């Protein structure tokens, strides 16, 4: 996937591809085919991976009932992404409030809240992502890649009576990412990411089978928290 991203967008991690006002460039020649080829490999491997996961009793013994996060705690922390959806919180910013081009995104939800549920949600979301990317590649729109940013006048942040600031809400794989962005009087961007690291992970090891220390790494990786950022 990283090689396909490099071919299509000029950067393995796609850094600086989304820019203020739009995107930096169209997919490069051959990029479409590279992405589809990489996704085909993933799609071919997914059923086998699922079969391996479900056919090993010793693995199921470790993941089922381990690291349970209850629906009440998920609601309290507004846990998002596959963690929230594995515990019954059916929130996905692509569907609620919703934004283009995700008009028909499917949001899988389970209620068990354990490691097994988080794994199964992630598997289901891989399949949905494969479908979405293929459909989006077929429907790439024509038109400009970006639009010019409004320029503030004077000392304020007013342009034609409007504040030059806004909120953005998108769905990341760890949950919704909320950002506030403003353009100051000098034309510079100021921004604030507002998405904390998932606090509910600390509760997954309390009580029940989650309290065994040998299962702590398993619980930790089932959350897949970022140690270096809050909006990655």
Q: Which two tokens stand for residue 212?
A: 């065994």
Q: pLDDT band at 174, cuts 50/70/90?
A: confident
Q: Is the pLDDT of residue 209 over 50?
A: no
pLDDT-above-70 percentage for the chain: 80
pTM: 0.81
Q: pLDDT band at 110, cuts 50/70/90?
A: very high
Q: Is the pLDDT of residue 125 over 90?
A: yes
The CATH code that applies to domain 56-223 is: 1.10.645.10
Q: For position 207, what pLDDT does the model report?
A: 44
Q: Which two tokens stand for residue 213?
A: 């220390």
Q: How far is CA 135 from CA 18, 32, 153, 170, in A?
A: 20, 12, 42, 19
Q: For position 214, what pLDDT does the model report?
A: 62
pLDDT-above-90 percentage for the chain: 48
For 35-88, what is each residue's pLDDT tens digit? 999 999 999 999 999 999 999 999 999 899 988 989 998 888 888 889 999 999
Q: For position 222, what pLDDT does the model report?
A: 87
Q: For position 78, what pLDDT does the model report?
A: 84
E strands, 125-183, in order: 158-159, 162-163, 165-172, 175-183
CATH 1.10.645.10 placement within the chain:
56-223
Q: Is the pLDDT of residue 106 over 70?
A: yes
204 vs 73, more confident: 73
Q: For position 185, what pLDDT does the model report?
A: 66
DSSP assignment of 182-226: EE-TTS-EEEEE-----GGGGGGGSSGGGG-GGGHHHHHHHHT--
Q: Which residues contact 152 (CB under 8 A, 6 or more apart)?
A: 158, 159, 164, 183, 184, 185, 187
Are the C-beta atoms of 129 and 136 separated by less than 8 Å?
no
DSSP assignment of 47-113: HHHHHHHHH-HHHHHHHTTSS---HHHHHHHT--HHHHHHTT----TIIIII-TT-TT------S--
- Beta strands at 175-183 and 165-172: parallel, antiparallel or unpaired: antiparallel
For 138-154, what is each residue's pLDDT tens digit? 998 889 999 987 765 55
Mean pLDDT of 197-215: 53
Q: What's the whole-number average pLDDT of the chain?
A: 83
Mean pLDDT of 96-122: 93
Q: Is the pLDDT of residue 196 over 60?
A: no
């Amino acid at each position: 996937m990283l090689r396909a991203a490099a071919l299509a967008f000029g950067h393995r991690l796609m850094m600086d591809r989304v820019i203020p006002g739009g995107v930096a460039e169209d997919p490069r020649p051959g990029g479409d085919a590279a992405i589809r080829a990489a996704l085909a490999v993933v799609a071919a491997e997914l059923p086998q991976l699922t079969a391996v996961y479900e056919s090993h009793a010793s693995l199921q013994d470790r993941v089922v009932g381990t690291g349970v996060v209850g629906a009440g705690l998920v609601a309290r922390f507004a846990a998002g992404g596959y963690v929230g959806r594995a515990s019954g919180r059916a929130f996905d910013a692509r569907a609620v409030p919703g934004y283009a081009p995700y008009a028909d995104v499917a949001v899988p939800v389970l209620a068990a809240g354990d490691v097994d549920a988080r794994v199964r949600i992630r598997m289901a979301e891989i399949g949905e992502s494969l479908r979405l990317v293929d459909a989006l590649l077929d429907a790439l729109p024509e038109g400009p890649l970006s639009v010019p940013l409004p320029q503030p006048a004077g000392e304020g942040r007013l342009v034609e009576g409007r504040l030059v600031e806004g909120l953005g809400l998108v769905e990341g794989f760890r949950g919704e990412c909320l950002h506030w962005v403003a353009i100051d009087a000098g034309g510079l961007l100021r921004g604030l990411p507002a998405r904390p690291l998932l606090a509910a992970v600390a509760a997954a090891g309390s009580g029940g089978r989650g309290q065994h220390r040998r299962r702590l790494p398993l619980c930790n990786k089932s959350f897949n928290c970022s140690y270096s950022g809050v909006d990655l």
